[in-house]
Amino acid sequence: MLIHGLQKMTLLDYPENVACTVFFGGCDLRCPYCHNFELVDGTAEPIMDDEEFFSFLKKRVGLLDGVAITGGEPLLRKDLPEFIRRIKELGFKVKLDTNGNHPNELKALSDEGLIDYVAMDIKNSLPKYAVTIGLPDFDTSNIEKSIEIIMHSGISYEFRTTVVKELHDDSSFEAIGKMISGATHYYLQAFVSRETVPNKNLSSPDPEDMDRYLKIAQKYVPDAQLRGM
Protein backbone atom coordinates (compact mmCIF):
# COMPACT_ATOMS: atom_id res chain seq x y z
CA MET A 1 0.00 0.00 0.00
CA LEU A 2 1.64 3.20 -1.18
CA ILE A 3 1.56 6.40 0.86
CA HIS A 4 1.98 9.76 -0.84
CA GLY A 5 2.62 11.99 2.15
CA LEU A 6 3.19 11.95 5.90
CA GLN A 7 3.02 14.80 8.36
CA LYS A 8 4.73 13.36 11.39
CA MET A 9 2.92 15.51 13.95
CA THR A 10 -0.04 17.86 13.83
CA LEU A 11 -2.14 19.63 16.43
CA LEU A 12 -4.65 20.83 13.81
CA ASP A 13 -5.79 17.91 11.66
CA TYR A 14 -7.42 15.83 14.42
CA PRO A 15 -9.32 18.06 16.88
CA GLU A 16 -8.18 17.77 20.51
CA ASN A 17 -5.58 15.13 19.61
CA VAL A 18 -1.90 15.02 18.77
CA ALA A 19 -1.73 13.07 15.53
CA CYS A 20 0.18 12.30 12.40
CA THR A 21 -1.45 12.72 9.00
CA VAL A 22 -1.24 10.16 6.20
CA PHE A 23 -1.92 11.27 2.62
CA PHE A 24 -3.13 8.85 -0.05
CA GLY A 25 -3.11 9.59 -3.77
CA GLY A 26 -6.11 9.31 -6.07
CA CYS A 27 -9.52 10.99 -6.04
CA ASP A 28 -12.74 10.57 -8.00
CA LEU A 29 -13.56 14.30 -7.93
CA ARG A 30 -11.85 17.08 -9.88
CA CYS A 31 -12.45 20.18 -7.77
CA PRO A 32 -10.94 23.18 -9.57
CA TYR A 33 -9.85 24.71 -6.24
CA CYS A 34 -8.19 21.59 -4.80
CA HIS A 35 -5.08 22.32 -2.71
CA ASN A 36 -3.76 18.76 -3.08
CA PHE A 37 -4.31 18.29 -6.80
CA GLU A 38 -0.89 16.67 -7.16
CA LEU A 39 -2.44 13.79 -5.19
CA VAL A 40 -5.45 13.75 -7.52
CA ASP A 41 -3.75 13.78 -10.92
CA GLY A 42 -0.95 11.39 -10.01
CA THR A 43 1.96 13.82 -10.30
CA ALA A 44 2.93 13.29 -6.64
CA GLU A 45 5.18 10.26 -6.24
CA PRO A 46 4.68 7.88 -3.30
CA ILE A 47 7.10 8.46 -0.44
CA MET A 48 6.80 5.14 1.38
CA ASP A 49 4.87 1.90 1.61
CA ASP A 50 2.71 0.73 4.50
CA GLU A 51 5.51 -1.25 6.15
CA GLU A 52 7.68 1.84 6.36
CA PHE A 53 4.74 3.74 7.80
CA PHE A 54 4.07 1.17 10.50
CA SER A 55 7.74 1.12 11.41
CA PHE A 56 7.41 4.88 12.00
CA LEU A 57 4.11 4.54 13.86
CA LYS A 58 5.35 1.90 16.29
CA LYS A 59 7.98 4.39 17.43
CA ARG A 60 5.22 6.92 18.17
CA VAL A 61 3.22 4.76 20.58
CA GLY A 62 2.65 6.87 23.69
CA LEU A 63 3.65 10.05 21.85
CA LEU A 64 0.72 10.43 19.44
CA ASP A 65 -2.97 10.03 20.15
CA GLY A 66 -4.16 9.26 16.66
CA VAL A 67 -3.75 9.07 12.91
CA ALA A 68 -5.57 11.34 10.47
CA ILE A 69 -6.12 9.71 7.07
CA THR A 70 -6.66 12.01 4.11
CA GLY A 71 -5.94 12.38 0.41
CA GLY A 72 -7.04 12.44 -2.29
CA GLU A 73 -9.93 10.19 -1.31
CA PRO A 74 -8.91 7.41 1.11
CA LEU A 75 -12.09 5.39 0.62
CA LEU A 76 -11.00 4.51 -2.92
CA ARG A 77 -8.45 2.16 -1.32
CA LYS A 78 -9.84 -1.36 -1.05
CA ASP A 79 -7.14 -2.22 1.48
CA LEU A 80 -7.99 0.74 3.73
CA PRO A 81 -9.95 -1.34 6.31
CA GLU A 82 -6.96 -3.60 6.95
CA PHE A 83 -4.65 -0.58 7.11
CA ILE A 84 -6.87 0.98 9.77
CA ARG A 85 -7.14 -2.28 11.71
CA ARG A 86 -3.37 -2.32 12.04
CA ILE A 87 -3.41 1.28 13.29
CA LYS A 88 -6.09 0.45 15.87
CA GLU A 89 -4.15 -2.61 17.04
CA LEU A 90 -1.35 -0.25 18.07
CA GLY A 91 -3.80 1.71 20.22
CA PHE A 92 -4.24 4.82 18.07
CA LYS A 93 -7.48 6.59 17.30
CA VAL A 94 -8.35 7.18 13.64
CA LYS A 95 -9.76 10.23 11.92
CA LEU A 96 -10.94 9.88 8.31
CA ASP A 97 -11.32 12.68 5.75
CA THR A 98 -13.75 11.91 2.91
CA ASN A 99 -15.50 13.61 0.02
CA GLY A 100 -18.71 11.73 0.82
CA ASN A 101 -18.97 9.88 -2.49
CA HIS A 102 -18.50 6.41 -0.99
CA PRO A 103 -21.26 5.79 1.56
CA ASN A 104 -21.04 1.99 1.49
CA GLU A 105 -17.34 1.97 2.33
CA LEU A 106 -17.91 4.66 4.96
CA LYS A 107 -20.68 2.66 6.62
CA ALA A 108 -18.61 -0.51 6.64
CA LEU A 109 -15.79 1.26 8.52
CA SER A 110 -18.29 2.81 10.91
CA ASP A 111 -20.10 -0.46 11.59
CA GLU A 112 -16.80 -2.20 12.35
CA GLY A 113 -15.80 0.56 14.78
CA LEU A 114 -12.68 1.44 12.81
CA ILE A 115 -13.06 5.23 12.80
CA ASP A 116 -13.29 7.56 15.78
CA TYR A 117 -13.79 10.84 13.91
CA VAL A 118 -14.90 11.61 10.37
CA ALA A 119 -14.61 14.90 8.48
CA MET A 120 -16.70 15.20 5.33
CA ASP A 121 -16.35 17.94 2.76
CA ILE A 122 -19.65 19.39 1.58
CA LYS A 123 -18.70 21.11 -1.63
CA ASN A 124 -21.82 23.17 -2.29
CA SER A 125 -25.60 22.98 -2.54
CA LEU A 126 -26.72 19.92 -4.50
CA PRO A 127 -27.69 21.84 -7.69
CA LYS A 128 -24.19 23.39 -7.75
CA TYR A 129 -22.28 20.24 -6.88
CA ALA A 130 -21.30 19.22 -10.42
CA VAL A 131 -19.72 22.54 -11.34
CA THR A 132 -18.03 22.82 -7.94
CA ILE A 133 -16.35 19.41 -8.21
CA GLY A 134 -15.56 19.63 -11.92
CA LEU A 135 -17.72 16.66 -12.97
CA PRO A 136 -20.74 17.27 -15.24
CA ASP A 137 -23.91 15.29 -14.44
CA PHE A 138 -22.64 14.21 -11.03
CA ASP A 139 -25.12 12.08 -9.06
CA THR A 140 -25.40 13.65 -5.60
CA SER A 141 -27.30 10.76 -4.01
CA ASN A 142 -24.11 9.38 -2.43
CA ILE A 143 -23.48 12.75 -0.78
CA GLU A 144 -26.90 12.68 0.84
CA LYS A 145 -26.40 9.07 1.95
CA SER A 146 -23.04 9.85 3.55
CA ILE A 147 -24.49 12.80 5.46
CA GLU A 148 -27.23 10.53 6.81
CA ILE A 149 -24.73 7.83 7.79
CA ILE A 150 -22.41 10.26 9.57
CA MET A 151 -25.14 12.05 11.51
CA HIS A 152 -26.58 8.78 12.81
CA SER A 153 -23.33 6.88 13.36
CA GLY A 154 -22.59 7.92 16.93
CA ILE A 155 -19.07 8.82 15.77
CA SER A 156 -17.63 12.28 16.38
CA TYR A 157 -17.72 14.24 13.13
CA GLU A 158 -17.55 17.51 11.32
CA PHE A 159 -18.79 18.85 8.01
CA ARG A 160 -16.81 21.55 6.24
CA THR A 161 -16.97 23.68 3.13
CA THR A 162 -14.12 25.44 1.37
CA VAL A 163 -15.66 28.73 0.24
CA VAL A 164 -14.70 30.06 -3.20
CA LYS A 165 -15.82 33.52 -4.30
CA GLU A 166 -16.83 32.39 -7.78
CA LEU A 167 -18.63 29.19 -6.68
CA HIS A 168 -20.60 30.06 -3.53
CA ASP A 169 -23.30 32.55 -2.60
CA ASP A 170 -26.01 32.99 0.03
CA SER A 171 -28.20 30.30 -1.53
CA SER A 172 -25.35 27.80 -1.19
CA PHE A 173 -25.38 28.04 2.58
CA GLU A 174 -29.15 28.12 2.91
CA ALA A 175 -29.24 24.80 1.05
CA ILE A 176 -26.25 23.27 2.85
CA GLY A 177 -27.65 24.39 6.21
CA LYS A 178 -30.95 22.67 5.52
CA MET A 179 -29.14 19.53 4.34
CA ILE A 180 -27.14 19.18 7.58
CA SER A 181 -29.61 20.83 9.95
CA GLY A 182 -28.87 19.78 13.54
CA ALA A 183 -25.28 18.74 12.85
CA THR A 184 -22.82 19.04 15.73
CA HIS A 185 -19.99 20.79 13.87
CA TYR A 186 -19.80 22.68 10.58
CA TYR A 187 -16.81 24.75 9.48
CA LEU A 188 -16.49 27.30 6.70
CA GLN A 189 -12.93 27.84 5.50
CA ALA A 190 -11.95 30.40 2.89
CA PHE A 191 -10.23 29.20 -0.25
CA VAL A 192 -6.63 30.39 -0.58
CA SER A 193 -4.92 29.94 -3.93
CA ARG A 194 -1.61 28.14 -4.26
CA GLU A 195 0.55 26.97 -7.15
CA THR A 196 -1.00 23.49 -7.37
CA VAL A 197 -4.62 24.68 -7.61
CA PRO A 198 -5.94 23.72 -11.08
CA ASN A 199 -7.96 26.87 -11.79
CA LYS A 200 -5.83 29.96 -11.21
CA ASN A 201 -8.82 32.26 -11.86
CA LEU A 202 -10.57 31.38 -8.59
CA SER A 203 -10.27 33.70 -5.61
CA SER A 204 -10.90 34.00 -1.89
CA PRO A 205 -14.25 35.29 -0.65
CA ASP A 206 -14.41 38.68 1.02
CA PRO A 207 -14.39 38.59 4.85
CA GLU A 208 -17.83 40.21 4.99
CA ASP A 209 -19.18 37.47 2.73
CA MET A 210 -17.73 34.81 5.03
CA ASP A 211 -19.40 36.45 8.03
CA ARG A 212 -22.74 36.54 6.21
CA TYR A 213 -22.45 32.91 5.10
CA LEU A 214 -21.67 31.90 8.68
CA LYS A 215 -24.79 33.62 9.98
CA ILE A 216 -26.86 31.78 7.39
CA ALA A 217 -25.31 28.44 8.37
CA GLN A 218 -25.87 29.11 12.07
CA LYS A 219 -29.63 29.17 11.53
CA TYR A 220 -29.37 25.42 10.93
CA VAL A 221 -26.15 24.49 12.75
CA PRO A 222 -25.88 26.83 15.76
CA ASP A 223 -22.26 25.83 16.45
CA ALA A 224 -21.09 26.53 12.88
CA GLN A 225 -17.76 28.37 12.86
CA LEU A 226 -15.22 29.97 10.57
CA ARG A 227 -11.94 28.11 10.42
CA GLY A 228 -8.55 29.61 9.62
CA MET A 229 -9.65 33.24 9.83
Q: What is the pLDDT of residues 163-213, one digit of tens each?
A: 999 999 999 999 999 999 999 999 999 999 888 899 999 999 999 999 999
* Helix, strand, coil content of the chain in percent (nearest 5): 35, 20, 45
State the Cα–Cα distance between residues 168 and 92, nearest whole angstrom. Answer: 37
Q: In this model, does residue 152 exceed pLDDT 80? A: yes
- Across the chain, mean pLDDT equals 96
**Separation of first and last alpha carbons in the chain:** 36
The answer to whether the bond into 62 is cis (omega within 30° of 0) is: no
CB count within 10 Å of CB 151 equals: 17
Task: Supply the pTM of this predicted model.
Answer: 0.95
Q: What is the pLDDT of residues 75-100, one digit of tens each?
A: 999 999 999 999 999 999 999 999 99
CB count within 10 Å of CB 59 equals: 10
Positions of E strands within the chain: 2-3, 5-10, 19-23, 48-49, 66-70, 93-98, 117-121, 156-163, 186-190, 225-227
Phi first, then psi: give them for residue 74, nearest 5 degrees. Answer: -60, -30
Average confidence (pLDDT) over 144-162: 98
The sign of the CA dihedral 20, 26, 28, 34 is positive
